[in-house]
Amino acid sequence: MTKFRTSLIYAFLLIGALMCLYPLIFMMIAATRASGDILSFPPPFTFGDFFTQNYESLHQRISIGTAFWNSTKIACISTILNLFVSSTAGYGFAKFEFKFKNILFVLVLITMMLPTYARLIPLYRMMNTLGLVNTHTAVILPDIATAFGIFLMRQNFYAIPTSIIESARIDGAGEWFIFFKIVLPLMIPSLSALGIYVFMSQWSNFTWPLIILNSENMYTIPVTLSTLRGDTRIDYGQLMVGASYAVLPILVTFFTLQRYFIAGMTSGAVKE
């Protein structure tokens, strides 16, 4: 009976995994097919010989290389800044005592309840006042600090014994030395988890770059791919090749840092 239950569980997990992987597999197959073949029924399950044609026509139609560089630059800078701001804020909330500490932290958490679209107009007016419309700085600034990142780092900092920090202070170490040389090395899994989350969120960000950027040479990958949707005809072969550009960095990032991501998301469950 136990073997039957185990086999049944694995069967359900296998089915679930195949359902999750099917869109990715279909995208890879569709990138090698003509647009007409992609819409056929039943859908194709084997690779075709149209990849080169789709690849060349995609590069002729849009500046996919420029968009890829723009997305890479924005995602990397946003991730580095977010890790620094979130880790320092989380460390302050976890290991320091100051007036209105709990109230300030609650206010940070309340911002998580605000709908994303509710802040678009105020953000645009702010960036317009600062003269940052149609710049990558305007895309990066709103996400250099997130409530989720501060919350995640705060919970993980609680897992570090305060006695280690106090011992370093007694030995004469400064606060920045303690933070960078003692505390942060212990937070590699958590930083990796947050880094993956921020990178993936910024890489796939569509709405805000679409609003704030208005020239093609500044577009990110999602915004550039949206221009492939013509008024009368959509070349799905081109679209699938472009989607491969968008998905590949996310897959590489996640699978490279997967073990850190899992460890970082679970280590915050322990509180001092």
Task: Note the pLDDT tens digit of each residue in 174-208.
Answer: 888 888 888 888 888 888 888 888 998 899 898 89
Output the pLDDT for position 270.
46
Output the pLDDT for position 139.
93
Average confidence score pLDDT of the chain: 84
pLDDT tens for 120-142 read: 899 999 999 999 999 999 999 98
Output the pLDDT for position 168.
86
**Residue 82 confidence class, pLDDT cut points 50, 70, 90:** very high
Output the pLDDT for position 85.
93
The encoded tokens of residue 268 equal 């915050």
Cα torsion angle, 205, 210, 216, 218, sign? negative
Output the pLDDT for position 150.
92
Output the pLDDT for position 232.
59
Task: Evaluate if residue 1 carries a pLDDT over 60.
Answer: no
DSSP secondary structure of the chain = -HHHHHHHHHHHHHHHHHHHHHHHHHHHHHTTS-HHHHTSSSPP-S--S-HHHHHHHHHHHS-HHHHHHHHHHHHHHHHHHHHHHHHHHHHHHHH---TTHHHHHHHHHHGGGS-GGGGHHHHHHHHHHTT-TTSHHHHHGGGSS-HHHHHHHHHHHTTS-HHHHHHHHHTT--HHHIIIIIIGGGGHHHHHHHHHHHHHHHHT--HHHHHH--SGGG--HHHHHHTT--SS---HHHHHHHHHHHHHHHHHHHHHSHHHHHHHHHHTT---
pLDDT tens for 239-261 read: 888 888 888 888 887 777 766 66
Rank 35-44, 51-60, 113-122, 214-223 by mean pLDDT and report only the highest.
214-223
Span 207-223, mean pLDDT? 90
Percent of the chain predicted with pLDDT > 90: 21
**Residue 269 confidence class, pLDDT cut points 50, 70, 90:** very low
**Residue 271 confidence class, pLDDT cut points 50, 70, 90:** very low
Question: What architecture (CATH level 2) is domain 57-267?
Answer: Orthogonal Bundle (1.10)
Pick 187 or 229 by higher pLDDT.
Answer: 187
Domain boundaries of the chain, sorted by first residue: 57-267
